[in-house]
Amino acid sequence: MLFNPKTEDFKHLDEGSRAIMKKTVEYFETKGKAQLIDEEHARVWYAGFIDFLKENKVFSTLLTPSEYTDDKDTRWDTYRNCDLNEIFGFYGLSYWYAWQVTILGLGPIWMGNNEKVKKDAARMLEEGGIFAFGLSERTHGADLYSSEMMLTPLGEGKYVADGGKYYIGNANKAAMVSTFAKNSETGEYVFFIADPEHENYDLIKNVVDWQGYVAEYALGGYPVTDDEILAEGREAWDCALNTINVGKFNLGWASVGICTHAFYEAINHASQRNLYGKWVTDFPHIQQLFTDAYTRLCAMKLYSQRAIDYMRAASETDRRYLLYNPIEKMKVTTQGEEVINLLWDVIAARGFEKDVYFETAVKDIRALPKLEGTVHVNMALIMKFMANYFFNPATFPVIEKQDAPKNDDFLFKQGATKGLGKIQFHDASLAYDSVDLPNVNVFKEQIELLKEFLVKATPSEAQAGNMDFLLSLGELFTLVPYGQLIIENAKIEKIDDDLLDQIFDFMVRDFSKFALELYSKKDSTPEQMEICMKMIKKPAVNKDRFNNVWENKVYALKNTYEMNP
């Protein structure tokens, strides 16, 4: 299940994609762990990494839609892009961030209507350019309604831009910065291109103490023409939200990469450490911590892989990915925090030491749930789908594994972002009833009680407007599609029953935890509290299952990977 740079052959990819992944792994392994960590501590801008990307045409091959190139290997293919997501996360979030914000910066370009800019972007990618996404602002964050960047029309296709942007990755070296603004005369939204080399582009500072560059920049009397306009009005708004849909999906994959590297370090350390006459990994509580960390990490990856399929198969009539996507951003990233917490409880003070990857991982893993989409923002989005998900299913063809080497055309032709509450889903019971395992069956009982809660103890209007109440309810709901996609992918990847049932051991416990949270809310009603108490259940205990997972999947990973020194 876990990525191992020393053994991964990328046989699931075509030859051209395989070569890029192997070269990327080789770049980091050649750099070595000591230099990787030293550069991170010294906050060194990774110019050598940018040169590597340019020399090997990594970004141009993976992030240029096929219609803007004659190269047979060049396309936007989410399936292979997530391999690179995982690799970058594995070696360092700052490297992943340069890739992530390039994806965001390209979103409005490929989704917009300006063919000239698209051709220029393709050329700049070919030349090794990176890109930036100028959306958030210092005062308002990512609140698009409150954007204060203004574009003032001067007539004859000319404009002038004034305002500032904040927390903008790559904005120090980007070939283009896709900048979101409002027309100062009409109030309509607009996306345009800014050039960091222009004299009216003021790069104020790096706002974080980090190896990457997260800029504050200001435009003062910055000249813009129709040639730099990407989209206007509703189309500009849709470009912003759809870009986030495409780009922020990567957050979960970065978490998977970070946790995987941290896991190897933790199991190697603990298995070689003897305390009080026993190996650390012989202590029962350590075995439980490691097994929980491993099963949560496997669940993160199983879900993330399956969510790719729904993204790539999306169409105007099938937008189920719009639920699975914010779960990737919110649930997978917060599970990443949980995995690191569990591993940190094992290795303790070792996690603070400056010569280990783990010390970086504990800081970086916290960023991912908070990057331009906090947990409560994504939860509010997820809740829009709950009624249709549970009570109004539709019939869809089964989505097979989407691993074909093709361009993901629909991602850049999504159109309007309205009508989320009308999106339908297939019946989740199709997945849950396809397996008969003790903990899955307990979890199914919990699902039925949640549906009973929604029907018989429906949240009041006041509760529905209380984000504190909804966050706990949303956590309960999120677990259901999370488990659904895990089961679907377990069948595709032929995951054995013991591992799948051990995954649902923690799923049952998490469901119980969030049910208790909901029970404890100050405005929960007696009827709601009664059903919440019924949701609290103990997982099915099976020592043989646990020991099999611990011995043959978790402990078996000791000394299987160590980064080159």
Task: Supply the pLDDT for residue 389.
Answer: 97
For residues 413-436, give the mean pLDDT: 90
Task: Supply the pLDDT for residue 264.
Answer: 98
| Short-list 313, 303, 294, CA closest to 252 | 303
Residue 373 confidence class, pLDDT cut points 50, 70, 90: low
Residue 106 confidence class, pLDDT cut points 50, 70, 90: very high
- Strands 158-169, 214-225: pairing is antiparallel
Q: Which two tokens stand for residue 72?
A: 């047979």
For residues 270-287, give the mean pLDDT: 94
- Residue 463, Cβ neighbours under 10 Å: how many? 17
Identify the structural domains of the chain with CATH numbers, from first to last.
15-129 (1.10.540), 133-233 (2.40.110.10), 248-385+404-414+432-555 (1.20.140.10)
Tens digits of residue pLDDT in 8-23? 999 999 999 999 999 9
Handedness of CA 11, 548, 298, 555 (dihedral sign): negative
CA distance 64 to 126: 9
Position 414 pLDDT exceeds 90: no
At position 116, the amino acid (one-letter code) is K
Percent of the chain with pLDDT over 90: 92
Residue 269 confidence class, pLDDT cut points 50, 70, 90: very high
Position 530 pLDDT exceeds 90: yes
For residues 174-201, give the mean pLDDT: 97
User: Is the distance from CB of 412 to CB of 230 less than 8 angstroms?
Assistant: no
Q: Which two tokens stand for residue 124?
A: 């700049």
Average pLDDT, rounded, for the chain: 95
pTM: 0.96
E strand or H helix at 498:
helix 497-519
Residue 31 confidence class, pLDDT cut points 50, 70, 90: very high
Residue 386 confidence class, pLDDT cut points 50, 70, 90: very high
For residues 500-517, give the mean pLDDT: 98
Tens digits of residue pLDDT in 216-267? 999 999 999 999 999 999 999 999 999 998 998 999 999 999 999 999 999 9
CA distance 420 to 125: 34
| Short-list 78, 90, 72, 103, CA closest to 8 | 90
